[in-house]
Structure formats: structure tokens, C-alpha cells
Amino acid sequence: MTKLHQLADLGQAIWLDYIRRSIIESGELQKLVDQGMRGVTSNPSIFENAIAGSTDYDEDLNVLVSEGKSVEQIYETLAIDDIRGAADILRPLYNKTSGNDGYVSIEVNPTLAYDTEATIAEARRLFGTVRRPNVMIKVPATPAGIPAITELIGEGVNVNVTLIFSLDQYEAVTSAYIAGLEKLASSAGEVSKVASVASFFISRVDSVVDTALEGVGNTNLQGKIGIDNAKVAYARFREIFQGARWQRLATLGARVQRPLWASTGTKNPAYPDTLYLDGLIGPDTVNTVPPNTLKAFLDHGNIAQTIDHDVETARERLAKLAELGIDLDSITKKLQDEGVAAFAKSFNGLLKSIAEKRQQLLGDWKELSTSVGS
């Protein structure tokens, strides 16, 4: 039994925050699943590194260019092939857990993050194109994304809500999820068939708050606020999914929307490399982990339920921030905007890289044709 199996016994699923063609085709992803890894997440930055930063996709790219595919069509074909491949590897786990785990996530075009209707249409199209019951469509928790969540859940689309940084954002997400399930139930849909996670970002909060703390001469709170923020959100999760409104849906077989801890790779080298795993363990949670952090946790991570420990201390530390003049709400709002911008930049960078490769191939073929013709 690995540490990942031990975490599963405590109610926490570890998902891999990484995807690339080579780990699917080499059997590496299957080995991780055998070790207890229970899902996969992707984002535009991950796909940019995978497609633009490797030769894994060159053969397929050649074929797609020869077929006259556009840059956007090439990206989507490559990405969806990876998502389907990962989903197929995870499908037995999905079946074994009755749809609780075994998911792979793909993100809606991040340039649509502030357009509700476009996000709904894109998510709906992606869900139908992938055609796997264990795919989740990632939708950002922006003001425009919140109503999109309700609409998509109401249609039975699995949603991974991304870029949550604050308690207010989190509460809006859970409300949207519950409203979506109520909509689905009212149309005689099967609420037990839809799943969702709420991706709460951790290390990015510490990165910004630590700088602010340094500015006011306080080092005692550094490296603590990211986990404290998550602990308070988890306590709220427990309250929301025990209320009367939720119980009406639970009797129909609805699943809780599990908190998913994202951005859990340690960015500050002074902190333990398993900080954001060791401190966030608890029932009904997911932690999506980059490969290096997963390797570190398997080697020396600690197995113990921690997410519900010292919650009052966490609240006190968050309150102390305000006393120090540090506005966490303002910070988390900015972090969400920056997260959208960063994913959009990666997405556009990926399309640019594909366009350059496409143009190079077209040029090579034209040169070869000219050479043969002469």
C-alpha cells in the first residue's frame, strides 16, 4: 500500500496536475494509477509546456497540417486526444468508485473567462466532443463563470471550477453548483450522474501575502495564510453540505462538490516541499499535485488528517492580516484576475507555437515540391 492509498483511506484523492502524450503512451500514467493516483488535471500552461516544449506531438502535427487543419483545430485535436487517452486509463477507477474518482479535466478557452454565454457554449461543446463520462470541464470562478456553472451542472456537465482564491468566491461556487443540481432535478435529470470539484488555490496566496507581511515587518504569519485560508473554506464546505437545502438533493443521490486543493507545489524553497499536501489532508477532498511534488510526497510526506485541525487559530491569523492592514479580499481578487491572464497568455503562446510549427512545415513542403518539380 502506497501513501496515496493511505490518503484514499482518509477520504482524500490525489490527482496529477500534469498531462503529456508520452506519459499516456509509455504506461507511466497507468503506473501512477496503480500506485493510487486517482485523477488528472490540465490547464493551458501544462498544454503549452507539453505541446510546444516537446517532440511528442510532431508526428500528429505533421498529419494535421497536411489535412489543412487550422491552428485552433490542431491544438484541440492534440489536446482532446490526450484527454481521451487519460480518461480511458482512468475509466476502470471511475467505474470502480461509482463515478467518485477517475476524472480528467480540460479547461475552457481562458480568453472567454469574462463571457458567460461563450463559456457555456465552449464547455458544452468540449464535453460533447470528448465523449467520456469521466471528463470534467474547467470553468473559472469569475463573476461571468458563476452563472455558467449553474447552467452546465443543470445540463449534466461535470465541472471543475478553477481559480478560487477566497471564501467569498468559494461560497458563490457552491451556491452555483447546488442551484445547478436543483435545476437538473427539476427537469427529471439524474443528479447522481454529475460531479464537480471546487479548485481552491493555495501557494499563490502565500507568495503574495508573504511579500505583504515582509512589508509590514511580520514574519510569524509567513507560509501559513494559504493553508489557513483553505481550512476556513473546508469548514464552510462542511456547513454548506450538511444543510437542509443540500439534504433534499442528497436524498436524490447528489454528490458533494469536493474542495480541490490546487497550486500545491511549494514556490518558496525555504518551505518544506510537501507543505501543501501535509497540511491539507481530510475527507471529501482532492489535492492535484505536480509531478515533482508528488514524488516528494511519496518519499517523505506525512499521513495524518490535518485539514480540520486548529481552525480557530487559522481564523485568528486571517483576522490578524486585517489588523496589519493587509486586505486579503483585494489580494485574492487580484490573484484571480492574474490567474485568468496567465492562462490566457499560455493559451495564446501555445497557439503561436503551433502556428510557427505549422508555417515551417508548410514551407518545408513547398520547398520540397519546388525541388522535385525542378
The pLDDT tens digits of the residues spanning 326-336 come to 999 999 999 99
Mean pLDDT for 100-129 is: 97
Mean pLDDT of 271-276: 98
Q: What is the pLDDT of residue 372?
A: 46
Q: Is residue 369 part of a domain?
A: no
The residues annotated as belonging to the active site are 138
Query: Considering the domain boundaries, does residue 374 fall inside one?
Result: no
What value does the mean pLDDT of the chain take? 95
Residue 161 has what DSSP assignment?
E
Q: What does the pLDDT average to over 355-369?
A: 70
Question: What pLDDT sits at residue 81?
Answer: 97
Q: Which of 91, 79, 180, 181 is nearest to 134 (CA)?
A: 91
User: Which of 44-58, 83-97, 102-116 has the least mean pLDDT?
Assistant: 44-58
Q: Domain span at residue 345?
A: 3-359
Task: Tell me how many domains the chain contains.
Answer: 1
Query: Are residues 220 and 316 in contact, defined by beta-carbon separation less than 8 angstroms?
Result: no
Q: What is the average pLDDT across 191-216? A: 98
The pLDDT of residue 366 is above 80: no
CATH number of residue 134's parent domain:
3.20.20.70
- Work out the burial of residue 360: count CB atoms within 10 Å of its CB; fewer than 13 is exposed, 13-18 middle, 19 or more buried: exposed
In a domain, 295, yes or no: yes
**Cβ-Cβ contacts under 8 Å for 306 (sequence gap 6 or more):** 278, 279, 280, 281, 282
Give pLDDT, residue 362: 78
Q: How confident is the model at residue 370 (pLDDT cuts 50, 70, 90)?
A: low
Q: Is 369's pLDDT higher than 60?
A: no
pLDDT of residue 1: 87
Indicate whether 174 belongs to any domain: yes
Q: Whose grid coordinates read 492562462? A: 343
In whole angstroms, give the CA distance from residue 4 to residue 14.
7
Is residue 97, in this structure, part of any structural domain at all?
yes
pLDDT, tens only, 42-73: 998 999 989 888 889 989 999 999 999 999 99
Would you say residue 104 has pLDDT above 80? yes
| Geometric angle at alpha carbon 326, from 206 and 270, rounded to 5° | 25
Provide the pLDDT confidence category of residue 39 given band limits of 50, 70 and 90.
Answer: very high
* 59 in a structural domain: yes
